[in-house]
């Protein structure tokens, strides 16, 4: 599941100008950027690294704000490491770590606005969802609140209706991954989903102007039971 998720994100974001490799040579794979828990620089942003050598340090710096760097040591018992730092959308971050293939690497990345790459039922491989069932959103610029059971800083809207977003139950919150419950009354066919971070609720009208903390509308299909 982790490999498929990272492959999907890498392929889609690389084709559309992913910010996780905008200043690294060669491009650094295995980075997933989250979004701020609060706006205005008062929240934190998490970055996931899945290709760090176990036992080495992953360092994260905010070049825009000059705040105290954050670091953590990659653990061989988990397939990824997450580092969080005070930051906001559009801040420039520097990630330094020892890559499994490239060795010591440093990448400068920009905290993105939330962007949805895929939505699907948690029990399906196809990008469809089902009424009343749990679904997962994969992308960048958002992550479940690491300090709460529910992602209190994230709001998912389904056809303009705000629904609860969360991390994967029983597992560590991860950047670029959210879960939500599809409304039980959702009809078969296309529907519009948006994600808001930093506590911002997407507009009820998907065509209305949005802020940097709200994703563009994304169409998902509710399949027949």
CB 76 within 8 A of CB 53: no
| Residue that finishes a domain, picked among 55, 81, 110 | 110
Query: Same domain, yes or no, for 210 and 121?
Result: yes
Based on the structure, what is the number of domains in the chain?
2
CB 47 within 8 A of CB 82: yes
Query: Same domain, yes or no, for 6 and 105?
Result: yes
Confidence of residue 170 (pLDDT cuts 50, 70, 90): low
Extended strands (E) in the chain: 31-33, 44-49, 57-62, 70-73, 81-86, 92-99, 103-110, 115-121, 128-129, 134-143, 150-158, 161-166, 175-181, 189-196, 218-222
Percentage of residues in the chain having pLDDT higher than 70: 82
CATH number, residue 178: 2.60.40
pLDDT for residue 165: 81
Query: What integer best gives the mean pLDDT of the chain?
Result: 85
Task: Please state the pTM of the whole predicted model.
Answer: 0.84
Query: Same domain, yes or no, for 30 and 64?
Result: yes
Query: Same domain, yes or no, for 35 and 75?
Result: yes
| Residue that finishes a domain, picked among 86, 110, 134 | 110
Query: Same domain, yes or no, for 87 and 23?
Result: yes
pLDDT digit string (tens) for 81-135? 999 999 999 999 999 999 999 999 999 999 999 999 999 999 999 999 999 999 9
Burial of residue 26, with CB atoms counted within 10 A of its CB: 0-12 exposed, 13-18 middle, 19 or more buried = exposed
pLDDT digit string (tens) for 177-197? 999 999 999 999 999 999 999
Residue-number span of the structural domain to which 16 is assigned:
2-110
Query: Same domain, yes or no, for 153 and 64?
Result: no
């Amino acid at each position: 599941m982790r490999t498929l998720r990272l492959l999907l994100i890498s392929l889609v974001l690389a084709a559309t100008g992913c910010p996780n490799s905008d200043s690294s040579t060669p491009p650094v794979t295995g980075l997933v950027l989250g979004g701020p828990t609060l706006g205005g620089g008062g929240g934190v942003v998490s970055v996931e690294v899945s290709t760090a050598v176990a036992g080495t340090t992953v360092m994260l710096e905010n070049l825009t704000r000059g705040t105290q760097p954050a670091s953590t040591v990659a653990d061989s018992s988990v397939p990824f490491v997450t580092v969080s730092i005070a930051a906001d959308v559009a801040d420039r971050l520097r990630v330094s770590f020892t890559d499994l293939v490239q060795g010591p690497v440093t990448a400068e990345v920009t905290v993105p606005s939330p962007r949805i790459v895929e939505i699907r039922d948690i029990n399906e491989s196809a990008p469809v969802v089902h009424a009343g069932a749990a679904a997962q959103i994969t992308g960048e610029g958002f992550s479940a609140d690491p300090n709460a059971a529910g992602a209190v800083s994230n709001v998912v809207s389904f056809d303009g209706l705000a629904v609860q977003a969360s991390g994967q139950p029983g597992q560590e919150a991860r950047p670029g991954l959210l879960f939500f419950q599809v409304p039980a009354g959702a009809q078969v066919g296309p529907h519009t989903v948006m994600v808001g971070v930093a506590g911002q609720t997407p507009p009820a009208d998907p065509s209305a102007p949005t802020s940097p903390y709200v994703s563009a509308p994304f169409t998902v299909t509710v399949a027949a039971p």
